[in-house]
Amino acid sequence: MKNNELYLPESAMAIMAHPDDIEFACAGTLARWAQSGSRICYVVCTSGDAGIASAGMTRKEAAAIREAEQRQAANIVGATDVVYLREPDGMLQPTMEVRKKIVREIRRFRPEVIICGDPNLVWAGESYINHPDHRAAAMAAVDAIFPAAGQPNMFEELSSENLTAFKPRKVYASGTTVDDQLILSIDETMDIKLKALLAHRSQFQGKDPSDSVRERAAQLAEGHNMMYAESFRVTILETDELWEKYQGDAVNRHPGA
């Protein structure tokens, strides 16, 4: 299905495994939202510290390089927050501790929409197996989103940080293979997506992925009266009516919030 009118969340959070995952998956959509005034937060589970295969490169050095690249990319997209959970690259697991870290960020930033991966995606085409870190990050994100983030009796210790329970309105799963997907035009932000992706210079070693990324975005857009697109499976956790009540209740609970 196609989006005929741009849904504009007040805030959105993307939760992915590595620096550059967000740019590949959903930077075009995030850039559209940012241009329209949405607050955007990146949560990156690892620092990509195993992701530079140069001789003599240490994990610490690689992490510093990749975090800097991610900050630059996020600035290009228009993200206001970038959070690194600094879990070990290549060994990410959807543990209770990782879930708690993600819940902390959800309760802190309070995003209306969260974008994450699809934890069920393993066979991702004829020549690619979805990275285990991608699956782990997706599973940890899903389990943090519901029910943990919105359940006040879970991770009660976070209340000492003045972080109260928060349930997002919608979840957008990127990379899913289900047929019923939301197709969003990124015609106006395709160049921003590519510029942000190319900020991850350490990953391309002089090779430019722009043509293949454009090709993929064009394939998603076929038949939808657009040039380039990103796609998502959408889950609505709160209807419009319940969301408005939820927001009103939140203001009443926290006057001046």
| Residue 257 pLDDT exceeds 60 | no
96 within domain boundaries:
yes
| Residue 126 pLDDT exceeds 50 | yes
147 within domain boundaries:
yes
Range of the domain at 137: 11-253
**What's the CA gap between 254 and 141, in Å, rounded?**
26
3 within domain boundaries:
no
163 within domain boundaries:
yes
1 within domain boundaries:
no
2 within domain boundaries:
no
pLDDT, tens only, 163-214: 999 999 999 999 887 777 899 999 999 999 999 999 999 999 878 999 999 9
* 236, 238, 241, 244: CA torsion to nearest 10: -120
Q: Give the model's confidence band at 101: pLDDT under 50 very low, under 70 low, under 90 confident, else very high.
A: very high
pTM: 0.92
Please report, as a single letter, which amino acid is at residue 52. I
Angle at 155 between CA 152 and CA 159, to 5 degrees: 70
6 within domain boundaries:
no
pLDDT on residue 54: 87
pLDDT-wise least confident of 115-119, 155-159, 249-253: 249-253
Burial of 209 (0-12, 13-18, 19+ CB in 10 A): middle
What is the CATH classification number for the domain harbouring 225? 3.40.50.10320
89 within domain boundaries:
yes
CB 16 within 8 A of CB 74: no
What's the structural domain count of the chain? 1
pLDDT, tens only, 18-42: 999 999 999 999 999 999 999 999 9
Q: Look up residue 46 and give its DSSP letter.
A: E
